[in-house]
Structure 1
Amino acid sequence: MSVRRGRAALLAALGIDMAGTGLFAPISLLYFQAVTDLSLPTIGLLISVATIASLPVPVVVGHLVDRYGPRGIVITAQVLQGVGFAAYVQAHGPVSVLVPSLIVTVGQRMFWCSVFTLVTEVAPPGRGAQDRTFALFSMVQSAGLGAGSLIAGLALSGGPHAYRLVVVINAASYLVSAAALYFVPRAPRVKTDKVAGSYRDLLRDRPYLGFIAVNGIFNLVAVMVGTAVPVYVVEGLPAPQWLAGPLLTFNTVLLATGQTLAVRLVRRLPRTRALALAGAFMVVWALAMALAVRIPGALLIAYLPLSMAFFAAGELIMAPVANALASAAAPDHLRGRYLAVMQYGFAVAQIIAPTFFTVLYTRGRALPFVVLAAVTAGASVLIARSSLGAGRSEGTLPAEGQKDGSDDPRTGENEWTSAD
């Protein structure tokens, strides 16, 4: 099977996966409220326990990816999520919510800790080609989420039977995605003298750890869009309450359509400088959101989408470039572990975002966005400075991870032979 067809199979699998995710996410709490007698705080606690219990997964998955390759891990992750969502159909009490939730969250952690290594394997060589592959990956992710979310809007008024149908469809989507991934060929295992290695190597790699921290701050901005913007628009601003939904939809449309264009526009920049530019756009968005409290209500209908366009510009650059840089800067024999640990940035952002927003919001409506702008500005300066110098001896990411936009002259279309 050709590499080109392998990329198509991977993109199809991702699109199916994310459509199912987008379909279920808006009704998740409503579903458990409808089919169980549990209170909303209890449901939230059970899901949080499952999420925290899955935090050690990246450490294990990274080791397995380096040893066996990412393809089988990604397929296993999809099957686990399909089984977990299928078990949700029988949810009726605490245990029948907690156990499937744990299966689902473990599957999710496995997926996100291994899929970027798989994308790296199917991407053609060369900075430009790899960035475009990650950009296409992000576009499909956003499009799938958006499509699923739009359909979920129809299910919100359907009651328990509609919710249960959504759960069944989501479970099926993961199994279909796993089947599609079967057609992604295995990459040949790279033979290297550096067969040894452990997480101690990563813990000694301070530039990479710094990059993970900076990327975690960018992830916090992304999580804050879904966590904070709806509450801020509905309760904190004199804007029409109906504006929150279209605002997030507008953001999704931008992310689903502009990824490859954004990567093309920054392809001549070193990746670290491109990330600093992405951070600058996010800073402008956060400051614009903070200033929204001073904007008359009638003008917010135009002002907020314009503000959201700055976030979208930053996210369009950040998502593919950060993933490509993380992959390029990782040693070949430790890439699975490096990329798995990268996922802790997003996990931590998911955990702290609600508290970050609610604590600051109670002290001032605009305060969360002011603090977020300051933190993001600092992260942007740090990532920009990390592009100075040419090697790790100077405290920077390696030059091969941040080179300019010139592509490798190879076509990247070498055939792989599937071992299946």
Structure 2
Amino acid sequence: MIARGESGAQRALIAASFVSRIGNGLFNAAAVLYFTLVVHLPATQVGAGLTIAGLVGMAAGVPAGNLADRYGPRTVWLCAVAVQAVTMAAFVLIDSWLVFTLLATLDRLGASAAGAAGGALVARSGGDRPAAFRARLRTFVNLGVVIGTLGAGVALQIDTRAAYTTLILANAASFVGAGLIGLLGVPDYRPLPRPAEHRRWSVLADRPFVVFVGLYSLMGLQYQVVSLLLPIWLSAHTDAPRWTVAAVYAISSGVCVLLQSRLGAKVETPRQGGRAFRLAGLLFLVSCPLMALTADVPAWVAPVLAVLAVVIHSVGEVWESSAGFALGFGLAPEHAQGQYQGLFGIGFEAGQALAPIVLTGAVLALGQTGWLLLGVLFAALGLAGPLVASWGERTRAAAREALPATD
């Protein structure tokens, strides 16, 4: 499974990400059930606690990225992963909403910091073919989540406190394992020299990058189309068999795992990222109306149509994530990758936080019209991709020309 030309640092980052994502898959599939059925917290309290944790957690992204740029990304990443391991293990001791919210908030702070510092590590380890490395990394991330989710199914079937506790501790152990792999296999990269005009919040003055973060956060609504919106739609508005929901999720995961490396390796530069972003939007413009049409066909046709729509949508997801890598890393200065990845992570998490409200509150409320409007939104966002990529490349070329000449 090791690609030719991969460095030791790249292999270590892939392995660490794979291990931690297995743990994430184990935990995420059963977390809400544990908090409601085992800890006996009301669902409304769980939702409120997770919302608070998510909002507070986003605040760590840029500061942690700054620390990674200043002191080295590996040190900050290891500290963040350690925080996640401790807080996750402490979830088994929850006995009140306050403790739950505090631990969930610490976990989200650690996750945001790990994302920013980890992004800087990925940038420093990219080598001669950074797009191929990032695509392969995402392939193993997806595969790890799938394996973890399948493993969680066993515990869900057992449905005991001990089973849920095992999942939580396994996730905590996955952070420990990922940290050890990173400690032993990833170099302790030294900070890169920073220009005199660099500031802690320089990223906020980079208008092309900020605009792209906004576009990507909105386009990120698509991640919850298959996991949230489509299952509700199939259950409430179609006569499709119940197994269709599980089938389309499995197919979506499979398509992403199979195609991420093949397609993602072709998206190297910001310009290529802009084109990939546009293509993703056009594919979503096709997939969303197809999903809406499942309500108008016989029961035996609905699963076939849903599968076709999900395959198209998943190919769009591969192009969209590849565009995110190419633009997110390609527009960021090398000396400030941590800061830029921190803002990128904040934007993505904000979009994911809004997704349930937008998808269930607006799209479902409008029915098939909502699906069509969602597809149009994605296409419009995608069309802006090449324009933002060109804008970003122009501003960076101008900045390079403005630098004083050196002997």
TM-score (normalised: structure 2): 0.90
The structure 1 residue matched to 2:372, chosen from 370, 373, 387, is 370
Q: Equivalent residues in 2 for 1:163-242 (5 A)?
A: 163-183=164-184, 184-192=186-194, 194-198=195-199, 200-242=201-243
Paired position in structure 2 for 1:155: 155
Please say if residues 18 and 140 of structure 2, whose CA atoms lie closer than 8 Å, have aligned partners that are also in contact. Answer: yes
Please say if residues 14 and 140 of structure 1, whose CA atoms lie closer than 8 Å, have aligned partners that are also in contact. Answer: yes
Aligned-partner residue type, residue 6 of structure 1: A
The answer to whether 1:145 aligns with 2:145 is yes
Which range is displaced more, 260-269 or 111-120?
260-269
How far apart are the structure 2 equivalents of 1:191 and 1:256? 37
The structure 1 residue matched to 2:340, chosen from 338, 341, 344, is 338
Please say if residues 27 and 167 of structure 2, whose CA atoms lie closer than 8 Å, have aligned partners that are also in contact. Answer: yes
Please say if residues 115 and 341 of structure 2, whose CA atoms lie closer than 8 Å, have aligned partners that are also in contact. Answer: no
Please say if residues 155 and 163 of structure 1, whose CA atoms lie closer than 8 Å, have aligned partners that are also in contact. Answer: yes
The structure 2 residue matched to 1:357, chosen from 333, 356, 359, is 359
User: Deviations for 1:42-72, whole angstroms, at most 9, x for unmatched residues?
Assistant: 1211121111121211121121121112111
Paired position in structure 1 for 2:130: 130
Quote how far apart the aligned CAs of 1:84 are. Answer: 0.9
SS at match of 1:123: coil
How far apart are the structure 1 equivalents of 2:340 and 2:79? 20
Quote how far apart the aligned CAs of 1:15 are. Answer: 0.5
Percent identity over paired residues: 23
How far apart are the structure 2 equivalents of 1:80 and 1:133? 27
Structure 1 unaligned residues grouped into runs of 5+ = 401-420
User: Deviations for 1:244-279, whole angstroms, at most 9, x for unmatched residues?
Assistant: 112111111111121111124566972211221122
How far apart are the structure 1 equivalents of 2:246 and 2:391? 45
Quote how far apart the aligned CAs of 1:361 are. Answer: 4.3
If each structure's helix is expressed as a fraction of its own residues, which one has the higher value? 2
Aligned-partner residue type, residue 381 of structure 1: L
Closer/same/farther in 2, CA of residues 389 and 38 from structure 1, 3 Å limit: closer
How far apart are the structure 1 equivalents of 2:283 and 2:200? 34
How far apart are the structure 1 equivalents of 2:182 and 2:398? 33
Please say if residues 219 and 346 of structure 1, whose CA atoms lie closer than 8 Å, have aligned partners that are also in contact. Answer: yes
Quote how far apart the aligned CAs of 1:150 are. Answer: 0.7
Quote how far apart the aligned CAs of 1:37 are. Answer: 2.9
Structure 2 unaligned residues grouped into runs of 5+ = 400-407
How far apart are the structure 1 equivalents of 2:391 and 2:100? 51
TM-score (normalised: structure 1): 0.87
Quote how far apart the aligned CAs of 1:304 are. Answer: 0.9
SS at match of 1:296: coil
Quote how far apart the aligned CAs of 1:131 are. Answer: 0.8
Aligned-partner residue type, residue 71 of structure 1: R
Quote how far apart the aligned CAs of 1:342 are. Answer: 0.7
How far apart are the structure 1 equivalents of 2:74 and 2:346? 21
SS at match of 2:193: coil
How far apart are the structure 1 equivalents of 2:345 and 2:278? 20
Q: Which runs of 4+ in 1 moved over 6 A?
A: none
Quote how far apart the aligned CAs of 1:376 are. Answer: 1.0
Closer/same/farther in 2, CA of residues 266 and 284 from structure 1, 3 Å limit: farther
